[in-house]
Amino acid sequence: MSMITKAELNRLKRRNIAHAYFKDSYVRVHFEERSLPKLKVKIVESEEWVGSWWKQRAENIIRLDSKIQEKNWFLSVAVHEVIEKWLMCDSIWKLPYDIAHSISDTIEERWHVKKWGLESWNDYMERVELIWEKENNNCEIWGTRNVAMRSY
């Protein structure tokens, strides 16, 4: 695991998504600077909450809640999960969850607002916060919150 400098962290946070492609249950994210091969991930619609992936497994799969009806919200969750997974598992830094989550949130927000507007982002974040709060209140069911790497 390489140590990341503050300058590299800031550079990561400023990255912009050029394109996010969704086709045949796959999502591929291209940054403006370059495309990263590990950012093509299969989407499985089976998550009960918002989105997740398992760090322990080497599979290139993210799980999303199939009950998310709004297409832009579904795509936004997918983009967030792909970037977070890449930062924690596939990048040279192997960042801890809190840093990877913060960076993927920043990139996701900028992409979502540019594509669908600030009002859509605010509505989306309200819904995600409600789901996250509900998940945290039910975490005793699993005994621990870290059964899987859950986002949001």
- Torsion angle of C-alpha atoms 9, 10, 11, 15, degrees rounded to 10: 100
Strands, E assignment, the chain: 17-23, 26-31, 35-44, 51-53, 61-64, 149-150
SS3 category, 29: strand
User: Going by C-beta distance under 8 Å and a sequence separation of 6 or more, which residues neighbour residue 17?
Assistant: 29, 30, 31, 32, 79, 107, 110, 111
C-beta of residue 56 within 8 angstroms of C-beta of residue 85? no
DSSP-assigned letters across all residues of 32-51: SS-EEEEEEEEEE---SSSE
Residue 19 pLDDT exceeds 60? yes
DSSP-assigned letters across all residues of 59-76: --EEEE-TT---HHHHHH
pLDDT tens-digit readout, 37-95: 667 788 887 766 677 777 665 678 888 887 788 888 889 988 998 899 888 888 888 89
Q: For residue 119, what pLDDT is reported?
A: 95
User: Going by C-beta distance under 8 Å and a sequence separation of 6 or more, which residues neighbour residue 94?
Assistant: 1, 2, 88
Whole-prediction pTM: 0.79
Q: What is the CA radius of gyration of the chain?
A: 15
DSSP 144: S
